[in-house]
């Protein structure tokens, strides 16, 4: 399909990419489309994504116009999914079967350059499907396949890699065994001669001394700086990867306004941001707090279906197939990330070895002066993220990762491989 264009007020021809050029016949503003095309060129993404992500056009309006152009049926909020709809496969592919009698065999929510392929007559199902929005398809899958979503979040790792998964066992036998071992230890200690008890106590103290020495040694020079830690040339917006941001929220209504303000201050192309706020189905207070705010087009709320165990990892597992970025970061609700953190992480990944799978952001307590307890937290975080962590990395030893501000890369490729 050729690239269409129109004449601007200055007389020159402005080219429009085909994924948005069809909107000219649906009363879309030529200047608005030109702005989306310029934004796409500047950020190195497709114009359809730039148009919707930047809030220049509502997602529903775009897909309704696409359906009219194709002569296809548009399906909105109510999607009668067929028996073959699966999580996460249907969401990763953007295609799901429909109930018989719906008027189409499949419903399709194309993104980005897939829109061009559909306009050129290439459909993933071979026939012209019904059209819907990615948001409507996600809502339908989560609502009609909630049991499957919950099972995937809780048990998918156990099914695929049981050697990596934690397999819960009854707690009572373990507690009884621990009690027996502790009792036997106390009995043996009581029967030992005094000099052996003293020797055992000295060994314990030597162990504490070794740990203390290790921590003190971490204060000194930590050796050569890793390549990913060396400041380099600023990457252009075109070269930056799409970045997914996950924030798990549960009973966090009080911090929602501050969190959203922080998430909208990133020094990163908005067309390449994919921010998802994860909430639980029974958390009405947080849902109401989010409903009172006007969310940018690149920020969406994902409601995780009920299931056990109700934990942050389960919520992240449920949302992982929805990630569109080749890089991903996890934040906590109370975090206020530095505006330049995503760009710094992307640049560090670009400089680092391909074997570098993740990066840990430095965490700082910002209310250290509030109380004695917060001062203790501030000291602990400073010791861990400013001293011990860098030393362990320099010494090539296993480094603990925090539950927040941890950046990963290569996620989309893995998800598509699993879908295939």
What's the pLDDT tens digit per position in 115-168? 999 999 888 777 789 999 999 999 999 999 999 999 999 988 888 888 888 776
Q: When comparing pLDDT for 384 and 410, which is higher?
A: 384
What's residue 14's pLDDT? 58
What's residue 366's pLDDT? 85
What's residue 2's pLDDT? 37
Q: 296, 262 in Cβ contact below 8 A? A: no
Closest listed residue to residue 27, CA positions, set 57, 70, 49, 71: 57
- The pTM of this model reads 0.86
* Strand-strand pairing, 299-304 and 273-280: parallel
Asked if pLDDT for residue 180 goes beyond 80, the answer is yes
* 289: region left, alpha or beta (phi > 0 left; psi from -120 to 50 alpha): alpha
Closest listed residue to residue 19, CA positions, set 35, 38, 39, 33: 33
> pLDDT-derived band of residue 197, with 50, 70 and 90 as boundaries?
confident
pLDDT above 70 covers a percentage of the chain that reads 91
CA torsion, points 223, 226, 229, 230, in degrees to nearest 10?
90
Tokens of residue 159, six digits: 């099914």
Asked if pLDDT for residue 199 goes beyond 60, the answer is yes
Q: 409, 327 in Cβ contact below 8 A? A: yes
pLDDT, mean of residues 400-408: 90
List Cβ neighbours of 194 (8 Å cut-off, separation of 6 or more). none
Domains and CATH numbers, the chain: 4-144 (no CATH), 227-419 (3.90.550.10)
Listed in order, strand segments (DSSP E) in 307-369 are 327-331, 358-360
27-36, 155-164, 273-282: which has the minimum mean pLDDT? 155-164
* Strand-strand pairing, 406-409 and 358-360: antiparallel
pLDDT, mean of residues 284-300: 95
Rounded to an integer, what distance in angstroms lies between the CA atom of residue 265 and that of residue 337? 9
What's residue 221's pLDDT? 60
List Cβ neighbours of 337 (8 Å cut-off, separation of 6 or more). 262, 263, 266, 331, 361, 405
What's residue 9's pLDDT? 41
> pLDDT-derived band of residue 226, with 50, 70 and 90 as boundaries?
low
What's residue 412's pLDDT? 53
Q: Is 300 helix (H, G, I), strand (E, B) or coil?
A: strand
Q: Where are the alpha helices (DSSP H) in 167-319?
A: 171-191, 194-218, 256-263, 284-291, 312-319
What's residue 168's pLDDT? 66
Asked if pLDDT for residue 398 goes beyond 90, the answer is no
Q: Which helix (H) or strand (E) holds 225?
A: none
Rounded to an integer, what distance in angstroms lies between the CA atom of residue 390 and that of residue 91? 39
């Amino acid at each position: 399909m050729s690239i269409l264009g129109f004449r601007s007020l200055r007389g020159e021809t402005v080219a429009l990419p085909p994924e948005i050029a069809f909107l000219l016949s649906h009363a879309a503003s030529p200047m608005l489309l030109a702005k989306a095309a310029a934004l796409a060129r500047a950020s190195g993404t497709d114009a359809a994504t730039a148009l919707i992500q930047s809030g220049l056009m509502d997602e529903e309006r775009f897909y309704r116009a696409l359906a009219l152009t194709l002569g296809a049926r548009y399906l909105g909020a109510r999607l009668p999914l067929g028996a073959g709809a699966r999580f996460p496969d249907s969401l990763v592919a953007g295609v799901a079967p429909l109930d018989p009698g719906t008027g189409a065999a499949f419903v399709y929510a194309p993104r980005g350059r897939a829109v061009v392929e559909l306009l050129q007559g290439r459909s993933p199902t071979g026939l012209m499907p019904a059209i819907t929005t990615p948001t409507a398809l996600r809502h339908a899958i989560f609502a009609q396949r909630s049991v499957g979503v919950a099972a995937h979040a809780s048990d998918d790792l156990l099914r695929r890699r049981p050697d990596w998964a934690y397999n819960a066992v009854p707690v009572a036998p373990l507690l009884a065994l621990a009690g027996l071992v502790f009792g036997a230890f106390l009995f043996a200690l009581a029967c030992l001669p005094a000099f052996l008890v003293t020797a055992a106590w000295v060994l314990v103290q030597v162990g504490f001394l070794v740990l203390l020495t290790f921590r003190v040694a971490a204060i000194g020079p930590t050796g050569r700086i890793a390549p990913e830690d060396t400041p380099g040339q600023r990457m252009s917006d075109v070269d930056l990867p799409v970045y997914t941001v996950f924030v798990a929220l549960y009973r966090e209504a009080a911090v929602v306004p501050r969190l959203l303000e922080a998430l909208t201050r990133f020094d990163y192309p908005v067309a390449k941001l994919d921010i998802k706020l994860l909430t639980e189905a029974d958390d009405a207070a947080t849902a109401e707090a989010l409903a009172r705010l006007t969310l940018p087009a690149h920020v969406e709320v994902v409601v995780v279906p009920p299931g056990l165990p109700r934990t942050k990892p389960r919520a992240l597992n449920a949302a992982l197939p929805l990630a569109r970025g080749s890089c991903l970061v996890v934040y906590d609700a109370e975090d206020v990330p530095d505006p330049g953190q995503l760009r710094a992480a992307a640049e560090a990944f670009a400089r680092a070895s391909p074997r570098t799978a993740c990066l840990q952001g430095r965490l700082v307590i910002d209310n250290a002066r509030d109380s004695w307890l917060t001062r203790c937290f501030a000291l602990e975080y400073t010791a861990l993220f400013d001293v011990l962590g860098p030393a362990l990395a320099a010494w090539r030893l296993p480094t603990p990762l925090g539950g927040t501000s941890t950046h990963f890369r290569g996620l989309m490729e893995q998800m598509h491989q699993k879908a295939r």
